[in-house]
Structure 1
Amino acid sequence: MIELLHTVPLFSRLNMNQLESISGICTKKSFKTGTVLFHEKELGSVFYIVHSGSVKIYTAGSTGEEKILSLMKPGDSFGELSLIDGKPRSATARTLEDSVLISISGQDFITLLKTHFDISLGIMQELSTRLRESNQHVHDLTFLDARSRVIRSLITLANKNGIRTGSTITIKMTLNYDEVSQMAGVQKPILIQVIRELQEKQIITMPGHEMKLDLAKLRA
Structure 2
Amino acid sequence: MIEFLTKVPLFAGLNQDQLTSIAGICSKKSFRSGTVLFQEKEPGSVFYLVFSGSVKVYNRAHNGEEKILSLFHAGDSFGELSLIDGKPRSASAQTLEDSVLIALTAQSFLELLRSNFDISLLIMRELCSRLRDTNQHVYDLTFLDDRTRVIKSLITLFNKNGSRNGHHITLRMKLNYDEVSQLAGVQKPVLMQVIRDFQEKQILSFVGTDIVLDLAKLRG
TM-score range, shorter chain: over 0.9
Report the Cα offset of residue 12 of structure 1.
Answer: 1.7
Cα RMSD (Å): 0.7
Stretch of structure 1 that moved more, 203-212 or 187-196: 203-212
Shift, 1:208, TM fit: 1.7
Which residue is equivalent to 2:182?
182
Find the aligned partners of 1:164 and 1:128 in 2 and give their Cα distance. Answer: 27
The amino acid across from 2:214 in the alignment is D
Alpha-carbon distance in 2 for matches of 1:95, 1:166: 30
- Residues of 2 paired with 1:86 and 1:208: CA distance? 45
Q: Which residue of 2 aligns with 1:98?
A: 98
Q: Which amino acid letter does the alignment assign opposite residue 215 of structure 2?
A: L
**TM-score using structure 2 length:** 0.99
Whole-angstrom CA distance in 2 between matches of 1:153 and 1:207 = 21
Residues 147-158 of structure 1 aligned to structure 2 (within 5 Å): 147-158=147-158
1:126 is matched with which residue?
126
C-alpha distance in structure 2 between counterparts of 1:139 and 1:113, whole Å:
33
Say whether 1:199 aligns with 2:199. Answer: yes
How far apart are 1:48 and its partner, in Å? 0.2
**Residue in 1 aligned with 2:48?**
48
TM-score, structure 1 as length reference: 0.99
Letter in 2 for 1:137: H
Query: How far did 1:13 drift?
Result: 1.4
5+ residue gaps, structure 1, are none
Corresponding residue of 2:215: 215
1:27-54, Cα deviation, whole Å (9 max, x unpaired): 0111000000000000000000001000
CA distance in 1 between partners of 2:119 and 2:159 (Å): 24
Q: 1:195, CA displacement in angstroms?
A: 0.3
C-alpha separation in 1, matches of 2:149 and 2:28: 37
Q: One-letter code of the match for 1:160?
A: K
Tell me how many residue pairs correspond in the alignment: 220
Structure 1 residue 203 displacement after superposition: 0.7
How big is the shift at 1:14? 0.7
Q: Which amino acid aligns with 1:39?
A: Q
Give per-residue Cα distances to partners, 1:165-191, cap 9 Å, x unaligned.
111111110000000000011111111
Q: In 2, Cα distance between the equivalents of 1:125 and 1:216?
A: 33
The AA in structure 2 aligned to 1:90 is S
Measure how far apart 1:7 and its partner are: 1.4
Counterparts of 1:167 and 1:157, CA distance in 2: 16
